[in-house]
Structure 1
Amino acid sequence: MICSAYRFPPFSAPLAQGERPMRPKPTLEELEQLAEIFSMTLDMICVADIHSARFLKVNDAFTRVLGYSEAELLGRTFLDFVHPDDLEATIAILREKLQRGEYVLHFTNRYRCSEGNFIWLDWLSRPIVEKGICYAVAHDITDRIEMEKELRESRQRLQDIVDFLPDATLAIDASKRVILWNKAIERMTGVPASEMMGKSDHAYTVPFYGKPRGQLMDLIWEENEAIAANYPTLKREGDALLAEAFSNALYGGKGAWIRMKASPLYDSNGQIVGAIESIRDITSIKEAELSLQESERLFRTVFEHAPVGMAVIDMEQHFLQVNRSICAILGYEAHELIGRSFNEFTHPEDRQGGVERWEQMKRQEAITTQAEKRYMHRSGRTIWTISQNALVIGRDGKPAYVVSHLIDITAWKQAEERRSQLEEQLRQTQRLESIGRLAGGVAHDFNNKLQAILGFTQMALLEAGEQEKLRRWLMMIQQAAEGSADLTRQLLAFARKQNIQPKILNLNRIVSSLIAMLKQLIGENILLTWVPEKDLWPIRIDPSQIDQILINLCTNSRDAIGGRTGTLTIETRNVLLDEAYCHGRPEFFPGKYVMLAVSDTGCGMEPDVKSRIFDPFFTTKEQGKGTGLGLATVYGIMRQNTGMVHVYSEPGKGSTFRLYFPHADLPSDEDAEKKPPRESIGGGGGDETILIVEDDADVLEVAQTVLARFGYTVLIANGPNDALKIVETHPGIIHLLITDVIMPEMNGKELGDFLKQRHPDLRILFMSGYTANIIAKHGILEKDISFIQKPFSVQTLLETVRTVLDKPAP
C-alpha cells in the first residue's frame, strides 16, 4: 500500500545507495494490462498510488465485497475506509515494516462497507517503488474473526465455569501436561494456574503429596497396582474412577481428606486424549463422619449399658432395636424380641391403654407418653414398669419410629405393697394395743369380782351338802363365772396380754392328748383325722395355748360344716420356709418351723370375709352364737409366740389354717405334758403360815376362808404398808407370801423383793387378773416366778399353794 510522503514520512525517506529512483506514474496502457489480471481472480485486488494512497484500480471482487462501485472507490484513499479504531494501528504497522525494509506487508484491519458496516480484511501488499504503485490483495476474514471471537468467548465461558466450580479441578493431555488448573485448585494448593499450566512429570501432584507420584488420572491409561495401592477406597463408575485419600501436603502441611473423581477426555474419534479430575475437600465430612461414628458408638454404649430398658419401635409396634436391660426385664434374648410386637409381652389388662396411647402418637396428638405398665416376664411373672415413649418425626413430617424407655419398678411396687401391708399391720397392732389397754384395765377389776363370785360359790358348794336344788343353782353360778373368766382370758390372749409359761415341748404329744376331747367338741357328724409327722421338731409355747388354739379352730370348722357330714383334718409337719416363699408375705420370715394345719370341708369364705377373720369381735354367726374372739385369740397367741398364720379358703371348698411355730433347738421339758384335772375339791392343805396381801376385800376374804378351812394359818393385809407392819410384828415364821400384783403404794413385785431381802426363805406366790408386765415381759413370766391367774378355783388355789410350799429351798 502506498502513502504520500506527507502522510507517511518513511515512504519519502532518501533512497539507499544503488536504489533506483521511483518512476513516474504508470501509463494508461500499463493499467489496462493490470485490469485484465484483476478480472481473473476472486480475491479482492486493488492498485493504489504509492504517494497519495489513492485507489488507481480495483477489481470486481473488491467492489462486490465492499459494496461500492468502482467510481466510488477510485480517487479515494486506502485509509478512508479503515475503521477509526484501527487507523493508528494500521499506520504504525506500515511505518514499522517499511522502516525495517520489509516490502511484503501483511496486516489486518476492519474496513467499511457501503452500508456502513465493517468487515475484517487480511491484507497482503507489495509496494513497487520504481513504478510508484502498490499492489494489495485482501481476503474477507470476518467469519474467521467472528469464529475466533466466539471460540475465545466460549473458552472464557468454559474457564469461568470451571473456575466457578467449588471442586478443585485439573486436566492433563495425552502427554500428561497440565491443560486446566481452576481457581478452586489454586485456593486449595496455593499454586496459581500460571505456574502449573503446561507442567508435566506429575508436577501437579507435588502440592498434594509433597513430591511427584502416580495419580488417580494415571489409571485412566493403564492398570497400575502400585498407584492403585495409594487409594484403598478405589472404585469405578462407568469410565470414571473414584477414590478418597489423605493429602498430607495441602494447606501448608496441615493436610486434608480429599475425594477424587477422574474421567477420560475423548476426541471426536473416541480416542482418549486426556483426563480431567475433580478434587473435593471432605475433611469436614470426614470429621463429621468420625463425630457421627463416635456419637453412634457413644449412643450404642449408652443404649446397650443403660440401667433402664431401651427400645426402638417402628410404627407397627415391632421392636427394631433393644438393649440389654430390656432383655433382662422381659427375660428374652435380643434376637427373640426384634421383629415382634411389644403387645405380645404386655400384660393383658394393660394392652388397651397401651394401644390408645400409641394411636395418639401415630396421630401426632402426643409426642411423648408416660404411664405405669405391666409386662409379662418369660417366666410368667408380672413386671411393673414406668413406660416412657418419645415419637420421632421423619423428614417427610410423618411419624418414623418411637424410642421407648422401660424402668423396672417391680421392687418398688413390691416395697409399696409391703409398706401398705406394714401400715395395715401397724394399724392392726395399734388396734391390738388399744384393745390390750382396754382389756388390761377391765381384766384387773373384772377378774377380782369374778374371783369373789367363783370363790364364794365353790365354798358354798362345800357347805351345801345334799341340797340338790341349791347345789344346781350354785353350779350354774359357777359355770357363768367360769364362762366370763374364759371370755376375759380370750380377750387378753388376742391382745397378747395374758401371762404364759412357755415350755419346750413336742406338739404331737399335746395334740394327741386333746383328740378325744376335740371329737366330742365337733360332734359325730364330722370325721376327725389326725396326721402327725414322725420326728417332729420341738417348739416353745405354753401348753395351755395349744388347747386354746385347737379348741377355737375346731369350733370354727364345726360351725363352718354345720349339720352336714364333713371332715376335719389336723396334721403336723416340719417345714423350711425360704426367701421365695416369704417374698410378698410381710408377716413371714425364712427359717425352720413346725406347721400345725387344721383343714375342714366346710362352706369356705369369701375374700372380704377372709380379710377380716382375725379382727376382734368380727363374726358371721348369728347374734348370741359367737363372740368374734375365737380366731382373734388364735392370731394373738401366734403373734405372742413369734409364730405365723396362713389361711387358704374358697367358697364351697372349705378352709385350711396353717400355723407355723418357730423351731426350738432344745429337748422337750418333762413337765410339759398335761396333768389330768382333779375331779373334786380337797387335799392340798397344810399347817404353814401364809400372809395374803390384796387390796380387794372380797378376794382377800375368799382366799383367807379357803386356806384357813384347809388348815393354814392365814394373816391378811389390805395393802403393802399393812403387810410390812404385820411382818415386822408377827412373832413366828411366815412361810408364804400371796400378793396381788397391781396395788396402790407399791406393786406386788416390789413388795416381794423387799421382804425377800429380809427373809430369804420366804416363798412368794403372785396372783392377778392382769400383770401389766410387772412380773412378765411381753406376757411371758420371768423365770422362777410362781403365779396364779385370777379368777382361780378353790382347787387351783390349794394345789398351787401346796406346790410353791413344797419346792426345794433356793
Structure 2
Amino acid sequence: METTTILIIDDEKAVLESLAAYLDDCGYRTVTARNGREGLEIFARQGADLVLVDLRMPDVDGIEVLTQVKAVSPATPTIVVSGTGVIEDAVSALHQGAWDFLLKPIQDFSVLAHAVASSLERARLLRENREYQHRLERMVAERTAELEQANVHLHQINERLRGIVETTRALAFCTDVAQFGKLLLEEFAKHMLAAGGSLYMAEKEGLRLIHSLDPGHAGTFIPFPLPRGSVFEQVMADKQPVLIKEISRHTDLNSSGWRGYRDGSALVFPLPDESGRMAGVVSLHSKSSPPFMEQDREVGMILASYSREALRAVRASKSLRENERRFRDILDTIQTGIFVVDVASFEILYANPAAAKMFGAPIDAIVGHNCNEALCQRVQDCRSLKLFGRGVDLAERVLRTFDGHEVPVLKSVSRTVLQGRECILESFIDLSEQKHIQAEKAQLERQLRQAQKMEALGTLAGGIAHDFNNILSAVLGYAQLGLRDLADTSHPLHTKLNAIFHAGQRAKDLVAQILAFSRRQEKVRAPLTIGPIIKEVTKMLESSLPAEIMVQSDIRAQRSVLADATEIHQVVMNLCTNAYHAMEGHGGTLDIVLEEVDLDHVGKSLDVDLLPGEYVKMTVSDTGCGISPAIIDRIFEPYFTTKSKAKGTGLGLAVAHGIVKGHLGAISVSSQVGRGTQFSVYLPVVEETETPDLTVPQALPQGTESVLLVDDERVLVEIEQQMLEGLGYHVTGVVGGPAALETFRQSPERFDLVITDLDMPGLSGVQLAEALAGVRSGIPIILCTGFSEGFDKKKGKLLGIRQVLMKPITVE
C-alpha cells in the first residue's frame, strides 16, 4: 500500500520537527518546508496527500498557501495550525478552503492525529464519490451515444429500404423484447405474405417462443441442444437463413421440436445480436403459390439485419432504464436527502424520500414548486444558489423544515445538468442523531466528573473521620462523666449535659453515615418510629431559625417503619432546610405532619408510584415563594439548584429522594408560586417497633483488672481512664505508642488488657500490638479507631486483637 504523504509548512523549527516526528510515528511520510514559498515549490514539484500549514508566516503566509493549493488541487485536504486563537483567522482560513483548524501549542497530539485521519478519510470519500459520479455519467453518455449511433444506423437502412422502413418504423420505438418480437414477426409476414410463423429468442437453457402467427402450433420452449439435423439447429450453427421451397420434398430435415409444417414453403432467419451471437430465430411458413423465393430471403436478410440493430437498441434502452431505475432506487433508499433545483427558474426538479422526510412534507409538495417558497422561504436565504459555481463540500448548516423546526445537516452543493437544464444538486445528511449522541456524551462526561468529585469527597470524608471521632470522644466522654458526677437529675445542669450528650450522639451517627458513604456500604435498618426524630428536629429548628418563621409539628402516627434513623433525620432536615430557604427574608410557617395512610383506599388519587398497603406519611410544607412549573420536574436531579453557591449545592433534595426510594418509599411535591410548597414522604409500615434509646444507661458491668490505656491524644487518655476507673478498673494511661511499649516491657505480667488507638504517629496500634505480642504472647488487646478502612482483621486476630471499637467511645 502506498504511504500517505503529508507536507508540513511552518517557520518554527521546533514545531516543524515535532509535528513531523509525531506523524512519522503514525505511519505517514512527511515532507517539511520552513516557509510558505518553499512549501508551494515542493507541492508544485511533487504534490502531497495532505498539507499542514502554519497561518502566520513571513513572506508567503498560510492564507496564500491555502489559496494556491486550492487553485492547483482543490481535492487536496489542508489543515491550518495557528497560535493566535483569533476567531477571524479561523473564519478566514475556512473561507479559503481549509478543511480543519487547530490551535498551537497542540497539547494532545491525538487531536492532530484525529484531524489528519478525518481529513484524509473525507478526501477519500469525496474522491470515490466523484469517481462514482463520473462513472455513472460516463455510462449514461456511452448508452446515449450507442442509442444515437443505432438511430443513425437505422436511418441509413431506412433510406435504402424506404418501403420496409415505412412499415417497420415502429420497431425502433419498442420498449421491450416481447413487443419488438411481435411487431417484427408481423412485419416479416406482411412483407413476405407468410400465413404462419413464429419468433424465438435464445435463453441460457434453450429457445423461448416470443410470438406466433398461428398460436398453438409452435412449442413454447425448445431446450438446448436442438434436435440434430433440424432447421433451427442448422440456422443457429451456420448463422445463415434457410429457404425451403417445398417442405414435403425435404424428408432429410428433422423436426425442430414440434410436429412442424408438412407442406408449403418455409423461410428461417437467424437473429444475431451486435456481438454476432445468436439472439433468436424467425420462422415463416407459406402455403400459397408461388412459394418463398430467393428474393424473399434477400429482403428478409435485410429486415433481419435491421431488426438486429433495433433489438440492440431495445436492449440498450432496457438496460438504460434498468440502470436509471437502480440509480433512482438508490436515491430513494439512501438516508441522504437530495434536491435538484433549476438555476434559472428556482424550480425543484427532484426530491428523494429522505429529503421529503427531512423537510416534513410529501414529495409532491416539494417537486415542481419554487425553491424560495418550498425551501428557502426568502430569496436572500437561498444559500445554495449563492454558492452555485463554487460548490460546497460537507459543510454544516441548519435546515428549516416546513413546520419551522431547525435540523442540523451536513450539506454538499454541486452543479449538474438534468433534462438539458443547468441545475444544482444539493445533498443533506441529517446530523440530529449525531448531535444527540454528542450531547449525551457531554452529559455523561459531566456526570463522570461529578462522580469523580463525589469519590474524592468520599475519600476526604474517610480521611477526616478519625479526627472528628476523636473530638466527639471528648465531648461525649466529658458529658457522660458530668452526668455521672451530677446525681441530682432535676438540676438544670443535668438537662444541659444531657442535651450535649444527645447532640454528640447525633454527631456520632452523622460521622458514621459519612464513613458509610465513603466506604459505599449499605445501611443497617431497623424498625423505628419517626415521631421522636421529628420532635428533635423541631426543637432544634425552633432554637436556630429566625423568629419570623414559625415551626409547627403534628405527630399523629405511632407505627414503625424499617429505616435508618440517621438517614431519616437527614431527610427531615433537608426538607426543612429547603422550606426555610423558601421563606428566608419574608417569614412564614413551616408545618411538619406525621400521619398514617392506607393506599388501598386513597392511592389512586396520589401522584406516587407505590404498591397498595399501609404507609407512614410525613408532610413538610411552607408558605414561601413556591416552585415554578418550568423547573418543578427537575428539583430532584443531582446538582440542580436555583440557589446561590453559598446556600446550596443541588444535592439536598436529590439525597432526600434517593434515601426515600432506598427505603422502598416515595416522595412527591406540589407547589404554587407565591403561596408555598408541600413535600410528602411515604414510607411503608412494619409491625415490629424499636425506638432507639438515647438515654444514658444507669447500671454498667464493673471490674478490677489492670488495663494499659494508649492514645496519642492526651485528653482522650484522661477521659477514657476516668471512665474505666469509674467502673472499678486499675488503669495506666500512656500517651503514644513508644511510651506504652516501654511501660509494658518494664512489667508485662502486670497488665490484664491493653486498649490502644489504631492511628498514632511513631508507632501505630497494629505495630504496637505486634511488639507487645513479641514481649508477651496472648495479651488481650482492644483496638480503638475513628476509621477502620484498610485494617486487616485476620492479621489483627493473630496479634491478639480481640475487639475493634469505633470512636467516639462512650462509657457503655
Q: Identify the TM-score tier after normalising by the shorter chain.
A: 0.3 to 0.5
Higher helix residue share: 2
Higher relative contact order (CA 8 A, sep 6+): 1
Higher CA-based Rg: 1
